[in-house]
Structure 1
């Protein structure tokens, strides 16, 4: 008897939540930027002097000195706990690096390279007989992702060790952050 009531309830919910209504509702709530006043004129913002990532909080902040200019919710690698040890471990590195180059034609909607691995990272991986990897980026969604399904990536850890944001957010980060900007990635 309880199973039949559960089936009836599920049927009612499914009729109320059509795929279009569900997708529309999720997209309406999919702005992953954390609440900060946003100027429509990006050129009037102060220069970004540092990027700070807090993996445990799933947060990426753009700083000017000590002031937080922008803050975003992020997705990490499938295995987010701990420092990246080797290529293929699906971890996002921890430590101090720099954003050293960018790729407008990557497999994802724009990407900015993080200078991982450092000499210490290489040494640690080599001591284990492993390759440290090196294609760690801040990027948008995979190319070809339909805007109607972008919500499926937000709030999940799905990368191979990179830091992912929405396409709109990588556009903003792309404009605000210069090559050579330091990035600190904390646990």
Structure 2
């Protein structure tokens, strides 16, 4: 009887440890997978409302998008509703975004923070590529540029973008 108990214990121990967080657990909903060439750069043209995911010089995907409520000019201060311009990097993924899914960019950089600080203001932050989610679907019916400075695509497009991007990918945002 003792050997059966030990045997059962030996078989149940790995399953118990995995259930307590020892094994990786899936994040949120089931995500799309991407097995194509790596995205090496994201190029955004605010004026044209076009974003390109590139592998080297080859365009893998392009998307139209909505911007911040004040689409002209570079983001300088928190609350100005502008989308930044310049070189940034993918720096985080949020599978539980209120706008479906989101991928963060590294705004503000040191230059952005220093510029805002000389006016005694914050440069802001939390600039993302994101989907619409329920809130965005309502707002996009009223106007194209509705975010607080983010770059918004449809939920289905965001699922593709989320799958294709990885940490550290350069993001160049042009006027």
**TM-score over 0.5 (shorter chain):** yes
Select 1:85's aligned residue among 67, 76, 99.
76
Cα RMSD (Å): 1.9
SS of equivalent to 1:135 = coil
1:139-170: per-residue Cα shift (whole Å, max 9, x none)? Answer: 00034666xx69727x7011000000000000
Q: TM-score, normalised by structure 1?
A: 0.72
Q: Which residue of 1 aligns with 2:53?
A: 62
Q: Which residue of 2 aligns with 1:9?
A: none
**1:68 & 1:115 partners in 2: Cα distance?**
23
- C-alpha contact (below 8 Å) 2:78/2:123 kept by paired residues: yes
- C-alpha contact (below 8 Å) 2:100/2:132 kept by paired residues: yes
Confirm whether residue 185 of structure 1 aligns to residue 157 of structure 2. Answer: no
Q: Which residue of 1 aligns with 2:154?
A: 166
- C-alpha contact (below 8 Å) 2:133/2:155 kept by paired residues: no
Q: Which residue of 2 aligns with 1:103?
A: 94
Q: Deviating runs (4+, > 6 A) in structure 1?
A: none
Q: CA deviation at 1:106?
A: 1.8
Confirm whether residue 156 of structure 1 aligns to residue 154 of structure 2. Answer: no
SS of equivalent to 1:138 = strand
1:54-80: per-residue Cα shift (whole Å, max 9, x none)? Answer: 000001100000111100001000101
Count of residue correspondences: 143
Q: Which residue of 1 aligns with 2:28?
A: none
**2:98 & 2:127 partners in 1: Cα distance?**
13
**2:167 & 2:157 partners in 1: Cα distance?**
17
Q: CA deviation at 1:128?
A: 1.0
**Structure 1: gaps (5+ residues):** 1-40
Q: TM-score, normalised by structure 2?
A: 0.77
Question: Cα 1:77–1:144, aligned 2, differ >3 Å: closer, same or farther?
Answer: closer
Matches within 5 A, 1:108-119: 108-119=99-110
- C-alpha contact (below 8 Å) 2:139/2:146 kept by paired residues: no
